[in-house]
Amino acid sequence: MGPLIADLRSDTVTRPTAAMREAMMRAPLGDDVLGDDPTVNALCEKVCELFGKEAAIFVPSGTMANQVALRALTEPGDEIVCHELSHIYQYEGGAPAALSGCSVAFAAGARGIFDARTMEACVRPIDDHDPVTKVVSIENTHNRGGGSVWPVEKIAEVSAAARARGLKMHLDGARIMNAVVASGVSAAAYARHFDTVTICFSKGLGAPVGSAVAGDAGTIRRAKRFRKMFGGAMRQSGVLAGAAIYALERHVERLAEDHAHARRFAEGIAGVRGVRVDLGNVETNIVYFEVDGDAGALCGRLDAQGVRLLALGPRTVRAVTHLDVDGESIDRAVRAIAVAIG
């Protein structure tokens, strides 16, 4: 195998920069289960401010962030309305069923986005036969939707319709800062439409580990109890929270570079025969494209050339940009793809 040119499998592959590692080293620490870790407390305050919420907790992963939030908002036998391609349903090991005892109902829509009327059609009648519709979950940006950004007006509509029916709103904000940077809408302007919101520090923000959940004090108190139950209450986790604070301070605006690199990549491969990519769908740092041949075999050949991509279907390939790839490595990756296909 040749030297690595670009690892575009995911924005989770980044390693902490030297400056981030220094911030981790310097972070004052304590036992967060006892509430004494000053760095975790500082991070949670920062997250509350960012989203305009009362309370926040730090958790090991985006999956745990979503699942403690959903568990806090529901009881077994409840139902969660989400898009069929949502991460909470597709990629979290069946957790809504396993950990919360909830079923899911699918609201359909292009690129992971649905409207208020589609959501309302999923709401169950109050009847002993039916699960109780309890939460509507939205993902922004939407991963399987191609890194699509939910228009805030659309979120407002869905949220108003949900709340009129007494439903709770959850935001899977693993990549919420990508949405913020792409749209210019603030994190708080998105978050006001939700009861619980999550953010991942280990995706485009470049921290090694960690996510947070924010919401009102009562819901977060309940989420904290489930964090303990699910094994996610950590001790001197300020060593990780230090990286997350650094990421929020230094790595948010630079997400625009990742978006520009995704566009550059998409425009590059659009010119390669045997590749189909919809440039209009490239909104943030994720590019999905279709190939004529076998996607898995192509990714295998490219891997040997030092270009790493994920085959997510027989003909579907995904590339994700992040802070460890620059313009030059993007151009080299495009040339490698042209050669591997040709």
Among 200, 213, 309, 330, binds ligand PLP (CB under 6 A): 200
Amino acid in the structure at residue 239 = V
Candidates 20-28, 93-101, 196-204, 295-303 — which segment interacts with ligand PLP by CB under 6 A?
Answer: 196-204
Nearer to ligand PLP, 194 or 340 (CB): 194
Nearer to ligand PLP, 174 or 180 (CB): 174
Are 149 and 284 in contact by the 8 Å Cβ rule? The answer is yes
Closest approach, Cβ 129 to ligand PLP, in A, equals 32
Among 40, 41, 62, 234, binds ligand PLP (CB under 6 A): 62
Among 30, 33, 48, 61, binds ligand PLP (CB under 6 A): 61
CA distance 227 to 217: 15
Structure tokens at 60: 């090991």
Closest approach, Cβ 135 to ligand PLP, in A, equals 15
Closest approach, Cβ 92 to ligand PLP, in A, equals 7
Candidates 28-36, 105-113, 198-206, 247-255 — which segment interacts with ligand PLP by CB under 6 A?
Answer: 198-206
139 binds ligand PLP (CB under 6 A): yes
Among 53, 71, 83, 87, binds ligand PLP (CB under 6 A): 87
CA distance 158 to 106: 14
The SS3 of residue 39 is: helix
Are 314 and 179 in contact by the 8 Å Cβ rule? The answer is no
Length of the chain in residues, anyone?
Answer: 342
174 binds ligand PLP (CB under 6 A): yes
172 binds ligand PLP (CB under 6 A): yes
Which residue in the block uniquely carries the two structure tokens 């949900």?
162
Spell 169-182 as b/e; 16+ CB within 10 A means b: bbbbbbbbbbbbbb
Among 133, 143, 178, 237, binds ligand PLP (CB under 6 A): 143
The SS3 of residue 200 is: strand
Identify which of 257, 324, 325 has the alpha carbon closest to the alpha carbon of residue 14.
Answer: 324
Nearer to ligand PLP, 202 or 284 (CB): 202
Report phi then psi at 104, rounded to 5. -125, 150
258 binds ligand PLP (CB under 6 A): no
Identify which of 74, 156, 162, 77 has the alpha carbon closest to the alpha carbon of residue 120.
Answer: 162
Closest approach, Cβ 171 to ligand PLP, in A, equals 10
Binding site for ligand PLP (CB under 6 A): 61-63, 66, 87, 139, 143, 172, 174, 200, 202-203, 211
